[in-house]
């Protein structure tokens, strides 16, 4: 789909162009996500509220500096996957991790197709990574399953399914749940999901049912699919918070890159061109 066909107000177009130009000046790799990627792959059109860009964790800081120099106000969220920039109430999201925060953007995100948008040649986030990034938003206040279904209708067998399985890894049950509901919602598209993939996932489910003992101590993974769920309630009852465990594991593995980001004061917005110290 032609991204320039989207009805984006002129003010937003100008600010999006400014943001793209700022990031291009740094030489960092980035790709388009959000509603723009959804439209590109599926033709599903919605109001474009902000500009979602995926980039490597190491490239967040130079990108924020460039955006501040271009007149944006910037800040970093405590959750280790998102930084933001804004000007005139128009927002740019710099997404450097999977939506639940437990995995970082890597080079595979930039293997998607190239497209022209607002006078810039851009990369659209690879469809498998885009699908995966939305899959863990399964919560009370946000559920991206309809977007996943649109991707399956549009792309189906053209997805790299073995790679998608690798992305989900230990979260394969989340993928299976989406595929089962998709089959219910779109019974006319049985060929969108390869039989071998469903067989693989159902065999895993059968094997897990035969597992002799559940995790001990008990594990709670609800926070991975719904960030609004209160893990403290379950931790007080002896459950291990899997979201917290994965965040800590990721921070340990990528300490040199992530620590400076999560250490920033998330309650302050920086327009000074430099990092502000926490109280």
> Which DSSP symbol is given to 277?
P
Q: Is residue 242 part of a domain?
A: no
Do the Cβ atoms of 76 and 36 come closer than 8 Å?
A: no
Residue 254 pLDDT grade (very low, low, confident, very high; cuts 50, 70, 90):
confident
Q: Is residue 116 part of a domain?
A: yes
pTM of the model: 0.89
CATH code for the domain in which residue 102 is found = 3.30.460.40
Residue 274 pLDDT grade (very low, low, confident, very high; cuts 50, 70, 90):
very low
Question: Mean pLDDT of all residues in the chain?
Answer: 89
Q: Is residue 189 part of a domain?
A: no
Looking at the predicted structure, is the pLDDT value of residue 245 above 90? no
What share of the chain in percent tops pLDDT 90?
A: 66
Question: Among candidates 133, 162, 166, which has minimal Cα distance to 147?
Answer: 133
The reported pLDDT for the residue numbered 277 is: 30
User: Domains in the chain: how many in total?
Assistant: 1
Residue 27 in tokens? 């030489």
Residue 97 in tokens? 């991790």
Residue pLDDT, tens place only, 122-160: 999 999 999 999 998 887 778 899 999 999 999 999 999
Q: Is residue 179 part of a domain?
A: no
């Amino acid at each position: 789909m032609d991204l320039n066909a989207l009805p984006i107000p002129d003010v937003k177009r100008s600010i999006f162009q400014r943001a793209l130009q700022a990031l291009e000046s740094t030489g960092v790799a980035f790709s388009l996500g959000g509603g723009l990627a959804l439209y590109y792959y599926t033709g599903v059109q919605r109001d474009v509220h902000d500009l979602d860009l995926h980039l490597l964790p190491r490239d967040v800081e130079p990108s924020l500096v460039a955006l501040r120099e271009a007149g944006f106000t910037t800040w970093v969220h405590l959750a280790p996957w998102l930084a933001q920039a804004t000007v005139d109430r128009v927002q740019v999201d710099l997404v450097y991790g999977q939506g639940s925060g437990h995995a970082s953007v890597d080079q595979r995100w930039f293997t998607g197709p190239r497209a022209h948008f607002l006078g810039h040649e851009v990369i659209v986030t690879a469809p498998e990574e885009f699908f995966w990034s939305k899959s863990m938003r399964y919560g009370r206040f946000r559920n991206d399953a309809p977007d996943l279904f649109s991707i399956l209708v549009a792309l189906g067998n053209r997805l790299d399914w073995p790679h998608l399985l690798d992305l989900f890894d230990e979260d394969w049950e989340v993928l299976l749940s989406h595929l089962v509901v998709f089959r219910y919602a779109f019974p006319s598209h049985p060929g969108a999901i390869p039989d071998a993939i469903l067989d693989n996932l159902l065999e895993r489910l059968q094997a897990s049912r035969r597992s002799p003992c559940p995790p001990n101590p008990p594990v709670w993974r609800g926070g991975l699919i719904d960030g609004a769920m209160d893990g403290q309630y379950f931790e007080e009852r002896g459950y291990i918070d899997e979201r917290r465990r994965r965040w800590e594991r990721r921070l340990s593995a990528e300490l040199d890159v992530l620590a400076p980001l999560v250490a920033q004061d998330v309650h302050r917005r920086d327009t000074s061109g430099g990092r502000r110290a926490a109280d």
